[in-house]
Amino acid sequence: MLSEASKYRLVWADPSYRVKCHSLDLWNLLRGESTPKNPIDLGCGTGRLVKAWREEGIEGVGIDIAPNAPDPDLPEDWFTISPLQSLTGCYDLGVCADVLEHIPPEEVDVVVERICACCDELWMKIAYFNSQLRGLDLHLTMKPSEWWVKIFEQWGKVEQVPFETHKKEFILRWRQ
């Protein structure tokens, strides 16, 4: 059985997985809601949100489990390659799009605890439908919004953001 890091090294090597940047889409949807000074893209993938922040003069950073996830033309010092279970630091905003459903169920509590300990506010888009690539199951924790709200309410206030989609996915905003 592959480790999560090995699985995502394989997944990010597939060009079809690199097309979208969900965190950049979420930022563009909610950006009028906040002007962060030190945000973090949690599960940054291609790193395109971090690039957009830097182009706007925002000193954002990203974290991802796979070293080959960020686009190769982006500076390495913008990113930390580490699982979210090891997240440290202090950030005024975390953006976490299409990430939490990828966390193994037995790791969800520790990931949520780390995120809430490090971020003042969190925007998240979470899917709850099956997703596979290269025969690998990607969405391991498929739960509806009510389940995630209960998890995050232990750490602060949660609200669901109106969001029209044709998929089983939703947006939540959490604050300490």
Q: Rounded to two decimals, what is the model's pTM? A: 0.95
102 Cβ neighbours under 8 A, 6+ residues apart: 43, 138, 139, 140, 141
Nearest to 117 by CA among 53, 174, 49: 174
Q: Return the pLDDT at 1.
A: 66
Mean pLDDT of 19-33: 92
Q: Return the pLDDT at 88.
A: 97
Q: Is 109 in contact with 85 (CB distance < 8 Å)?
A: no
Domains of the chain: 4-175 (3.40.50.150)
Q: Which of 27-41, 64-78, 87-101, 106-120 shows the lowest per-residue confidence on average (mean pLDDT)? A: 27-41
CA dihedral 53, 56, 59, 61 (to 10 degrees): 10
Q: Return the pLDDT at 171.
A: 96
Most confident listed range (2-11, 31-40, 83-92): 83-92
Q: Return the pLDDT at 37.
A: 96
The pLDDT mean for the chain works out to 94
Q: How far is CA 157 from CA 92, 104, 117, 142, 169, in A?
A: 15, 24, 14, 22, 20
Q: Is 93 in contact with 62 (CB distance < 8 Å)?
A: no
